[in-house]
Structure formats: C-alpha cells, structure tokens
Chain A
Amino acid sequence: KNEVEQSPQNLTAQEGEFITINCSYSVGISALHWLQQHPGGGIVSLFMLSSGKKKHGRLIATINIQEKHSSLHITASHPRDSAVYICAALPPGNQFYFGTGTSLTVIP
C-alpha cells in the first residue's frame, strides 16, 4: 500500500502549455518534497514545503495540508522539462514515503 499517490502517471504536453501534476497522501505530514528525475537517472530536489506555496522560475508548488494534497505546476513548458516528477511525504518520524512518479514529455 502506497501512502502517496500521484496523478497522472504519464503526461504529454505541447511546448508552452501549463502543466499540473498532483500528489495526494493519506497520513498527516511534516513536509512534502518534490523531486525531478531526468532520463539519465539523476534525482534533483525541486521543493520542500510544509505549507502554502513556493516558486522557483517556471515551477510552482502548492500544498493544502487539510486536504492532504499538493500540486506542482510548470508554466510555459519546454522540452527540457521532460522528466519524471516525484513527490515524497514525510509523516512524523524520519522516513519519507515516495510516489511512483509522473512521467512528463514535452513535445516541441
């Protein structure tokens, strides 16, 4: 049983489109982490948030603690955004639970 669910599993978009990736979790959490994994395999941290909203360049992450839901938005998507996006929830304790990822392909 996975505590963290992501949707959609796969997403194809045209360059320039606004993209939303969703993450829902079933337990109370201390923080939520968004990560990016490129086809080469490397995993990069995008955001860590426990409330509200964070923005970095074209990426925006939001979280609603009461609804146990977070979203990652990409504005003006670009082919270089093609990657797997992973969310991870941190319940009280030291252990993150990871979603299975959303595979994004942005077509020129």
Chain B
Amino acid sequence: DAGITQSPRHKVTETGTPVTLRCHQTENHRYMYWYRQDPGHGLRLIHYSYGVKDTDKGEVSDGYSVSRSKTEDFLLTLESATSSQTSVYFCAISLSPIYEQYFGPGTRLTVT
C-alpha cells in the first residue's frame, strides 16, 4: 500500500471556524489531490498539486484553499467552514495524471 496518511481522521467543527486537513505521503509522488465524497455524487476534485508550491483548482474549489510547501505534505484549508462542507475528504497521490491514483484513508468532517 502507498504510504498516505490523513489527519485528523474525524473532526466536528462549528460553522464559521477555520479548518485545516493534512495529507502526508512517503512515496515521493509528484501529484497530490484533494477530493470530497458526498452521497449521490462521485468523488469531486477540490484542488490538486503538481509540485511544491504548484497548485490548481478543481471543479469544486470555492471555499477551499491549499498549500504545498514540501513534497510530502498537502494541506487543505476551509477558511470559514459551512454546513455544505460537511463531507468525507480524500487525499490521493500519483506519479502523473495518467498513472493510477492511491488514496488516503479519508477524513470525515462535520460542520454544525
């Protein structure tokens, strides 16, 4: 299994508070992705990174920001959490977009 961890694994927070989720990899993969998974929807891309300090938006990026200051860590920040951001968040890594992606265990976020 690819070495990918996510922290925290579960979080409950209140509307309006900032939240940061962390994805850590030990595989030295160039690409890292943040997805959210909601009932009735497929996995949807929030942001991705193609290198240190290189990031781009996905299809559902509003309300989220990311940072990647070193190869192994990719942070997802909700500046002011809303109830619509209650979801399960998955991080994934890959060598390149045409290679398979390896997923982290997920973070269940509840915004009350």
Total contacts A to B, CB within 8 angstroms? 58
**Contact partner, A98, options B31, B43, B50, B100, Cβ 8 Å:** B43
> What 6 pairs across the A-B complex have the smallest Cβ distances?
A98-B42, A43-B103, A48-B100, A98-B43, A45-B100, A94-B97
Which chain A residues numbered 13 to 36 have a C-beta less than 8 Å away from chain B?
A: 30-31, 33, 35
Do B101 and A96 touch across chains, with their CB atoms under 8 A apart? yes
Contacts A41-B105, A42-B106, A43-B90 given; does A4 touch B97 at CB 8 Å: no
| Contact in complex: B100, A33 (CB < 8 Å) | yes
Contact of A90 among B43, B97, B102, B103 (CB under 8 A): B97
A52 located at the interface, meaning its Cβ lies under 8 Å from any Cβ of chain B in the complex: no
Chain B residue total in the interface (Cβ 8 A): 24
Interface residue total, chain A, C-beta cutoff 8 A: 26
Among B40, B48, B98, the residue within 8 A (CB) of A100 is B40
> Mask for A47-73, Cβ within 8 A of B = 1, else 0?
110100000000000000000000000
Tell me if B41 is interfacial: C-beta within 8 Å of chain A.
Answer: yes
Q: Which among B42, B50, B56, B103 is the interface contact of A2 at CB below 8 angstroms?
A: B42
Question: A86 contacts which of B31, B43, B100 (Cβ < 8 Å)?
Answer: B43
Tell me the bound Cα distance from A83 to B29 in angstroms.
27
Residue of B nearest to A33 (CB): B100
Chain A residue with Cβ nearest B42: A98
In the bound assembly, the distance between CA atoms of A100 and B38 in angstroms comes to 9
A42 cross-chain contacts in B, Cβ below 8 A: 103, 105-106
Of B90, B101, B105, most buried by chain A (CB within 10 Å of CB) is B101
Q: Does B63 contact A (CB under 8 A)?
A: no
